[in-house]
């Protein structure tokens, strides 16, 4: 496969992934799943969503492995290992974001809205007292701290960066719909990705 063809194939696959991933994250799709499978599925939906995303990413990783493109740079030691350590810390940050952020993953509460009888308070904790979107930060660190770069990986990372930014905006709209004015107050005090204000927990 020629370099131009492999890059085009990569872009097409990424576009398909983005469409499917966004569809599964949408309220209409979640409502449909809830209607078909009932509320017993609610606690498992985030895990199934993550598994589906990983399953779709694996062929993408294989494509990049088969068609990496021209090597742009390889970071020498010891900086290479410093970057790998940064990626490990970013992975741990993602795990912490999952455990600290139940407000992002409770499907029934997302569908209920801020004025529903079953609505809960935002109650940010842990990493969410420092930044609003730790997944955006960890995503950037995981990809851009890769200690080598090729043309196709650069294309992949550029598209993923745009998708992560759009995904962060999408999550913000969803949390606004879920928590209303409470989230607006939180957003005004806590930075999105860089913890330049230190630890801030509104309402505590």
Q: What percent of the chain has pLDDT over 70?
A: 83
Does any domain span residue 57? yes
What Å distances lie between residue 140 and 1, 28, 64, 149, 192, CA to CA? 29, 29, 18, 15, 13
The domain in which residue 160 lies consists of 3-189
Does any domain span residue 197? no
Does any domain span residue 196? no
Give the pLDDT confidence score for residue 43 in this predicted structure: 66
Higher pLDDT, 152 or 28: 152
Would the pLDDT of 12 be above 70? yes
Token reading at 22 = 């966004």
Distance CA 14, CA 35 (A): 29
Does any domain span residue 199? no
Residue 2 — very low, low, confident or very high, per pLDDT cuts 50/70/90?
A: low
Give the pLDDT confidence score for residue 116 in this predicted structure: 43
Higher pLDDT, 150 or 11: 150
Does any domain span residue 37? yes
Does any domain span residue 103? yes
Domain count, the chain: 1
Does any domain span residue 95? yes
Does any domain span residue 31? yes
């Amino acid at each position: 496969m020629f370099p131009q063809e492999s890059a085009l194939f990569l872009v097409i696959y990424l576009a398909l992934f983005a469409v499917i991933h966004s569809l599964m994250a949408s309220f209409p799709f979640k409502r449909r799943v809830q209607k078909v499978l009932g509320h017993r599925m609610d606690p498992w939906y985030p895990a199934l969503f993550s598994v589906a995303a990983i399953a779709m990413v694996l062929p993408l990783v294989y494509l990049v492995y088969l068609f990496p493109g021209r090597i742009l740079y390889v970071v020498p030691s010891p900086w290479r290992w410093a970057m790998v350590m940064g990626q490990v810390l970013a992975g741990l940050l993602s795990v912490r974001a999952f455990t600290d952020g139940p407000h992002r993953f409770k499907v029934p509460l997302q569908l209920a809205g801020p004025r529903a009888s079953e609505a809960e308070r935002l109650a940010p904790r842990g990493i969410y007292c420092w930044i609003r979107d730790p997944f955006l930060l960890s995503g950037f660190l995981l990809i851009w701290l890769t200690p080598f770069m090729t043309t196709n990986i650069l294309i992949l990372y550029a598209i993923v960066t745009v998708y992560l930014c759009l995904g962060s905006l999408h999550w913000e709209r969803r949390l606004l719909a879920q928590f209303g004015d409470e989230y607006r107050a939180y957003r005004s005090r806590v930075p999105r990705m860089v913890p330049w204000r230190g630890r801030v927990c509104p309402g505590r």
